Amino acid sequence: MKNKTIVFATSNYNKVKEVREMLIPLGFEVLSLSDLNLCVTHPEDALTFAGNAKIKAEEIAEKCSYPVLADDSGLMIDALEGFPGVHSARFMEGYPYEVKNKAILEMMEGKENRRAFFRTAMVYIDKEKGIEKTFEGVTEGVITTKLDPKPLHGFGYDPIFFSLDLNKTFGQATNEEKDSCSHRARALMKFVEFLKGRED
């Protein structure tokens, strides 16, 4: 695969790091919005992850000359009817995730069904080639009964998400372990396979 520059439409350091860890070894240069001094100004008010990812991808594709990859992702909890879902980032906006995680655990008190999953939708737009594609990834787990007191890695809701693939919370998983089964990793794998297929 030839070297290729892609803009990942986020300024979230943790997301950029996760995507770079997966794509740079495959010959990609991954630029963030911060690298280009760009930002998303349109409200992410779609009802689906794919819809929000498309809002971001389309706006940034109009502002730069590179192909753009944008994602939207979130935690969905069965017992809370899919909450926080597309509102994962905006739930208790302005509060640190330790506070958000504690709030989720309080909402889950007394719930027997603790099944949950992370879902990611990624939208890729290459204006030059007229390409727009969506890739989705899901990883399953359960919500823990208490906050991981010393998460070693991860971010966001990782300390309360016990991965069924890894048999540990994402907060305790190494970057390599998380990259092997995370929702974002699975969507990225589909994206990479798509690009490989176009070059074969």
pLDDT digits (tens, 9 = 90+) for 168-180: 999 999 988 998 9
Q: Which pLDDT band holds residue 199 (cuts at 50, 70, 90)?
A: low
Q: What is the pLDDT of residue 200?
A: 52
Q: In the 8-state DSSP scheme, what is residue 157? A: T
Q: What is the pLDDT of residue 106?
A: 97
Gap between the Cα atoms of 118 and 16, Å rounded: 18
The answer to whether the beta carbons of residues 80 and 107 sit under 8 Å apart is: yes
The answer to whether the beta carbons of residues 154 and 178 sit under 8 Å apart is: yes
- Kind and range of the H or E run holding 132: strand 131-143
Gap between the Cα atoms of 77 and 116, Å rounded: 4
Q: What is the pLDDT of residue 196?
A: 79
Taking residues 82-94, report their average pLDDT.
94
For the chain, give the number of residues. 200
φ, ψ at 173 (rounded to 5°)? -80, 145
Per annotation, catalytic residue among 35, 45, 71, 72: 72
Does 48 score more than 80 pLDDT? Answer: yes
| Cα 198 versus chain centre, distance | 24
Which is it for strands 115-126 and 131-143: parallel, antiparallel or unpaired? Answer: antiparallel
Q: Which residue has the higher pLDDT, 31 or 147?
A: 31
- pLDDT tens digits along 1-31: 445 899 999 988 888 988 898 888 888 899 9
Gap between the Cα atoms of 158 and 74, Å rounded: 11
Does 198 score more than 90 pLDDT? Answer: no
148 is annotated as an active-site residue: no
- Kind and range of the H or E run holding 195: helix 183-199
Report CA torsion sign: 121, 170, 100, 112: positive
Does 41 score more than 50 pLDDT? Answer: yes
The answer to whether the beta carbons of residues 57 and 70 sit under 8 Å apart is: yes
Return the CATH fold of 4-199.
Maf protein (3.90.950)
Q: What percent of the chain has pLDDT over 70?
A: 97
Q: Could you tell me the two tokens for 164?
A: 């069924």
CA angle 108, 178, 6 (to 5 degrees): 115
Q: Which residue has the higher pLDDT, 153 or 20?
A: 20
CA angle 32, 38, 44 (to 5 degrees): 90
Q: What is the pLDDT of residue 3?
A: 55
Does 151 score more than 80 pLDDT? Answer: no
